Amino acid sequence: MRTAKASSLALMIAAALGTAGCTDDSNKTTSKVTAQPTAAEAKAFLDASQKELTKLQHPASQAAWAYQTYINQDTAAVAAYLGEKLSSRATEIAKESAKFNNVELDAASRRMLDGLRYSLTLPAPSDAEKSERLAQIGTQMEGMYGSGRYCREDGTCWGLTDMANMMANERDADLLLEAWKGWREVSPPMKDLYVEQAEIANQGAQELGFKDISELWRGGYDMPADDFEQELDRLWGQVKPFYDALHCHVRAKLGETYGTDIVAQDEPIPAHLLGNMWAQTWSNIYDVAKPEQEMQVVDVTKALEEKGYDEIKMVKGAEAFFTSLGFEPLPETFWERSQFTQPADRDVVCHASAWNLDSVDDLRIKMCIQKTGEEFAVIHHELGHNFYQRAYNKQPMFFQGSANDGFHEAIGDTIALSVTPKYLKRIGLIEEIPDASNDIGMLLRTAMDKIAFVPFGLLVDKWRWAVFSGKVKPEDYNQYWWELREQYQGVKAPVERPADAFDPGAKYHIPGNTPYTRYFLAHILQFQFHRELCKIAGDEGPVHRCSIAGSKEAGEALNNMLMMGASKPWQEALEVLTGTQQMDATAILDYFAPLKAWLDEQNQDRQCGW
């Protein structure tokens, strides 16, 4: 997933709060709190905390940038030291904020305090030994994942990158099964650690006033925790009929490719055949499922080359998208300080990310840009993060973030949805827009990426919430994981899995303790945002062909929402742009309407469902 990285203090703290730690008592600015705290003391606490964390954040984010763009022992040590200082203090402040849980406050102050509590991903209990143990477990599991290897009988060993490439490109079912099983040998040793981690973190959550981690995670969305889970199921219910049609077509094509003895046409799809180690996206097997008729596809990579685009011109082109909406150009420092290409003289982190180092105007992107059409869309996505970061930089520090954790990713993806043939013609990259008969291929590939992901984006945290709450016991962890995979995705384990397999741990976000619901929300919201912006822009064509480029009206509407940051409940931010406080997945159905009609034709004589 593309990310807004160290983008603002609020976002950096949210990342930092995943781990607990201790620091000495020097240079702390916390306000003195009486046995019965008052509203004035709560406000003084918030003011002091913001000042202190702002002072810690800037050098920590500078060090993190230096490390990621110049990897060596020294930059690693400095980044780790300053990051730990920020992380530890932010964790302490978030825990201290619980003292004001029952104080009557104005809405803004209460929102800041609640935001601090909810941003603790795995709160450490006050017991020092348990706190230290919680940090050790997190580090140990991440290390186990990062160093994971599968070694074959002939002595050759594969890392995750090797096996992920194999899953994407190989069509030998036996080799795919070997890679799938091989990677899942990494996770069983994590299981006991994961059980212990949940027990300790639940104690920390209880000290903050929550029943368990499940309530903490589900409760940070401006609505009661149980209501939020029901809201996710409602959204999934809107998407499911379209997903079922996509599943039916892909399963049929896989049956033709591998045989119905391997891909039974009335059962879930074996997880190793979908082109991805976790079967979360399916676009890598587009060649298996694509339409038989010849499609005229815009070759953006070739167009970039023919028009003389280098890496900087690609970024300038993406910036021009935003200025056409009425946004101010990026500051000169963006061009001086960003990493656009991979340096020849040093190691760097190439994963694309967008940064705001000082929470004001020190905007940057970090990429190793390839001159491809895909990367051109990614640049638009990353700048979407940057323009969001700048839009809310006038907010108090604790409100410098997105309305909920799905909004930031959704904004980047919304912008990328406007990189259509219509937009490419507008900027002179292509001369003709292919007619609508060519849209099915594009829509199918997009659906195999975005819509195939939706149920997976939902079930990862559903599994964790059940684990954290104790609804599912350790002996049933793996069984429940596959029950959810079959229920929501229609995907099954290709071979029988033992109870202690701990297959959830083979997905980074489980041992890395990164909440996952944000990705589900982003996949819903991006289409809702795009549909509404297209209406505001006055585009009367099919929504999947729309680009909002050049519409000052759409730009103003978008910016009005972005400027709010996290200052108001997400429902109010959503209403500013869309006119409704309810997330609505019917925008997905509108976007993919031609594909749904095509899929229904393909599926006429097939048995769908599982």
Residues acting as catalytic residues: 351-352, 381-382, 385, 409, 509, 519
Is residue 559 within 8 A of residue 577, CB to CB? The reply is no
CA diameter of the chain:
74
Between CA 500 and CA 397 the distance in angstroms is: 44
Q: What is the β-pairing status of strands 157-158 and 363-366?
A: unpaired
Residue 170's nearest CA partner among 289, 291, 276 is 276
Sequential DSSP letters for 7-29: -SHHHHHHHHTTS-----STT--
Between CA 331 and CA 333 the distance in angstroms is: 5
Between CA 168 and CA 173 the distance in angstroms is: 12
Cβ neighbour number for residue 552 with a 10 Å cutoff: 12
- H or E segment at 157? strand 157-158
Burial of 27 from C-beta contacts in 10 A (0-12 / 13-18 / 19+): exposed
Residue 324's nearest CA partner among 380, 241, 262 is 380
Burial of 51 from C-beta contacts in 10 A (0-12 / 13-18 / 19+): exposed
The token pair that represents 208 in the structure block: 């903050």
How many helical (H) and strand (E) elements, i.e. helices and strands, does the chain have? 25, 7
